[in-house]
Amino acid sequence: MDMSISRRQLSLAALVAMATSAAPSLAVAAPSLAYAFSGKLLFGFAVTPEQLDGGLATELIERHSSVLVAENAMKPDALAGKGEGIYDFATADRVVAFAAARGIKVRGHTLLWHRQMPEWFFRDGAEEVNRATLISRIERYIADVVGHFKGRVFAWDVVNEALVADEPGTAVDAAGLRLSPLRDIVGPEFIEIAFRAAARADPGALLFYNDYETQNPRKVALISALVRHLRERGVKIDGIGHQAHCSMAHPMVHDFERAIDQYGALGLIQHITELDIALNQQLMENLVSAATPALLQRQSQRYADLVNLFLRKRDKVHALLVWGLSDANSWLTSWPMPRFEAPLLFDAQLQPKPAFEAVLRAARQAR
Ligand code: G3I
């Protein structure tokens, strides 16, 4: 794994930035996380294209990242919203070019998901699409998209969130597969079809199954069974993506540790793909309304505990991505309802939080 760091991430750049800008320079002056993680884990963020157009956000992303993922710009609705075979790669290409110009790797997220798929995918005029047509659409979409980014996206989330464990409100089949147009029209084989198409389109890319609650023992069992099934059928799958959307209390570090070891025993590499730590434990009552110093301190300890685990397991875990740059733009402030949240490493003014310091310390101290 190439985790070399270019000179832009060394502290000279920070000193220059401090000397030349009166604007909030603290964040830019902070030591590079990518540098602190180099030789240990790839490190980076989910980004939006607007964050790459200059300004402090751009500086932070280029300074602190050795890997990036587009938060939405590489999803099917973004790339192929207009119809079959009609692609809009311009925005995603900008993200990839930004990364390439700075020696930053790109994860591709995501080829198939039950959300953010364009409507045309599942329609044939007024009718629902038939199985054969949907399979050919899946194969064509993946061939075109993975082919387009071949050699520039080093790892793909091929299938996202197809398995469900312990979610009473979610429709699921007897094998634990989420009921969705993909599953209902194609059948469980949609996963195999997707992985085969991705492997054909870029044999050099690492192919991942990505999901949340990957530490839940029942989810571990479902994902492990899927991996064994794919392998028995000669299908290439390289890794598991742990979304790792956490709160202050959940999940427990030791549950994550057990799961990482179990996936590791299958010979899978692992990426932490969407780490964030919500201040709210649950959403029904006692919602947090501000990030008090005490809460931020507890959050930083929680980041340290999790990141220390990922670093300790770095024979199995190769990359760590935080789902968003700053508290100004986290999905958690709008889902499942609008609320105050502050789950990331930089605050809404793009200044480093105690969590940033904790992650930096963990990366530097890992031996
Ligand atoms: O692009 C439209 C825009 O045209 C419109 O004006 C605007 C008004 O609502 O919506 C925009 O789309 C939004 C999109 O983000 C882009 O900003 C959608 O409403 C919004 O639902 C969508 O949310 C994204 C969510 O996935 C969708 O499922 C979040 O930003 C993104 O962080 C989130 O990411 C997912 C991962 O892909 C998979 N794992 C869970 C994670 C968090 O939900």
Closest approach atom of ligand 1 to CA 109: 37
Pocket test for ligand 1, best of 51, 72, 113, 115 (most atoms within 8 A of CB): 72
Phi and psi, residue 160, nearest 5°: -120, 130
Distance separating alpha carbons of residues 355 and 297, to the nearest angstrom? 8
337 Cα–ligand 1 center, Å = 13
pTM value is: 0.93
- The DSSP output letter for 351 is P
> Which residue's C-alpha comes closest to atom 17 of ligand 1?
72
- State whether residue 180 is helix, strand or coil: coil
75 Cα–ligand 1 center, Å = 10
Contact 31, 11 (CB under 8 A): yes
> What is the per-residue pLDDT for 30?
85
Annotation says 161 is catalytic: yes
Contact 162, 225 (CB under 8 A): no
Print burial letters for 134-173: b (CB count within 10 Å at least 16), e (below 16). bbebbbebbebbbebbeebbbbbbbbbbbbbbeeeeeebe
> What is the per-residue pLDDT for 22?
40
Distance separating alpha carbons of residues 364 and 367, to the nearest angstrom? 8
Residues with CB under 6 A from ligand 1: 71-72, 115-116, 160, 243, 274, 331, 335
Annotation says 274 is catalytic: yes
Selection from 107, 30, 25 nearest residue 363 by Cα: 30
Contact 205, 156 (CB under 8 A): yes
Give the chain's domains with CATH numbers: 7-365 (3.20.20.80)
> Which residue's C-alpha comes closest to atom 3 of ligand 1?
78
> What is the per-residue pLDDT for 28?
63
Would you write out the chain's pLDDT as a tens digit for each of its 367 residues?
A: 444 444 344 433 333 333 334 444 556 678 999 999 999 999 999 999 999 999 999 999 999 999 999 999 999 999 999 999 999 999 999 999 999 999 999 999 999 999 999 999 999 999 999 999 999 999 999 999 999 999 999 999 999 999 999 999 999 999 999 999 999 999 999 999 999 999 999 999 999 999 999 999 999 999 999 999 999 999 999 999 999 999 999 999 999 999 999 999 999 999 999 999 999 987 777 789 999 999 999 999 999 999 999 999 999 999 999 999 999 999 999 999 999 999 999 999 999 999 999 999 999 999 8
Closest approach atom of ligand 1 to CA 243: 39
> What is the per-residue pLDDT for 298?
97
Active-site position among 62, 192, 213, 274: 274
